[in-house]
Amino acid sequence: MSAPRLRVSRTQQGEFVLARAAGHLDLRSYPDLRDGLLKSAVDADALIADISELEIDDPALTSVFALVALRIGDWPAVPFAVVSERPDHRALLRNRTVDRLTRVEASVDGAAAVLDRPPQLRVQREIPRSTGAAVRARESVREICEDWAVPGLIDDAKSVVTELVENALQHTDSTPRLRLELRRNRCTVAVTDDDPRPAVLRERLANAGGGLGLKLVAQLSRVWGCSPRWTGGKVVWAVLEVSGTSG
C-alpha cells in the first residue's frame, strides 16, 4: 500500500498564514513541501507550518524546515514557526537543531503568541504597461523612499526597479505590480507578474538602453531572487541594506 501523498494547504488566520502539511515526507515529496511552504510565505505577514499530520520518513528530511527558515529570512523576511501536536515531532526537530533557526511549538496558538513581528512598512502599486512604465516605477520608488525618510536608498532602489519592471514588460504579458517593504533595516524592491515562468535577468549591451542589467542589480542588492506565488505568477525581488533606519 502506497504512502499518503503529501499535501500542503494554506489559509489566512488573522495576522499570519497557516500552512498545514499532511501525508508522507520522503525524498520524492521533499521538494513539494519546501516549495509549498515558500509559496505560502510570499504574501504573508507571518507563516506558521503545522506538521501534526505529517509522517517523516527519515530524520534528515527535517532539514527542509531549516532550509525554508533560511530562505524566508532573506525574503520576504517574515516570522516563521513550525508547529506539531506530536511530542516525537518536536523532539526530532530539536535533535536536528531546527529550533536554532525557527520556533518549534506544540500549538498554533502558542506559536502565534511568540512570533516576532518587527515594525514593517509596505506599499504596493500597479504599474500600467506603457513605454513610460519604468519611469513611473522610478518615480514611485522616489516618493515612497522620501515618505519613509530613507533618501539614501533612492538611487539604488530606482536602479533595481528599472531592471525588474522592464524584465516583466519584456518577458510577460501581464501588468507589473510594484511592492516595496521596509523591515529590520532592509528594503525589498519587488515586482509581481502573472507569468509563472522563472525570471532570468539578462545582461544588456552598453548601447541597448533600458535597465542596467544583472551585474548591477547583484552588486546593489544584498540578495535577489524569483519566487512563485501561491495564487499563480511570480515575484522577482531584491533586498537592499538600509543604514540608520527604525524599520
Structural domain boundaries enclosing 190? 120-241
- Is residue 2 a part of any domain in this protein? no
> Cβ atoms within 10 A of the Cβ of 117, count?
12
Q: Which amino acid is at 24?
A: H
- Domain CATH for 106: 3.30.750.24
Residues 100 and 152 in one domain: no
pLDDT value at position 206?
Answer: 46
Residues 142 and 63 in one domain: no
Segment 9-25 shows an average pLDDT of 96
Q: Which of 92, 114, 136 is at the close of a domain?
A: 114
Q: Apex CA 34: angle with CA 30 and CA 36, to 5°? A: 115
Distances in Å between the alpha carbon of 214 and those of 159, 197, 203, 204, 211?
11, 18, 6, 8, 9
Residues 181 and 90 in one domain: no
pLDDT value at position 184?
Answer: 78
Mean pLDDT lowest among 116-120, 135-139, 163-167, 173-177: 116-120
Residues 155 and 233 in one domain: yes
- Domain CATH for 189: 3.30.565.10
Residues 110 and 207 in one domain: no
What percent of the chain is predicted at pLDDT more than 70? 89
Dist CA 158 CA 212 (whole Å) = 11
Residues 88 and 163 in one domain: no
> What is the number of structural domains in the chain?
2
**Mean pLDDT score across all residues of the chain:** 90
Q: Which of 114, 140, 156 is at the close of a domain?
A: 114
Residues 36 and 77 in one domain: yes
Residue with cell 542589480: 217
- Is residue 247 a part of any domain in this protein? no
Instruction: Convert the pLDDT of each residue in 195-230 to its tens digit.
Output: 998 876 555 544 444 445 667 778 899 999 999 999
Instruction: Convert the pLDDT of each residue in 27-83 to its tens digit.
Output: 999 999 999 999 999 999 999 999 999 999 899 999 999 999 999 988 998 999 999
Q: Which of 114, 146, 164 is at the close of a domain?
A: 114
Instruction: Convert the pLDDT of each residue in 159-185 to its tens digit.
Output: 999 999 998 998 899 999 999 999 878
Q: Model-level pTM?
A: 0.84
- Is residue 147 a part of any domain in this protein? yes
105 vs 15 pLDDT, higher one: 105
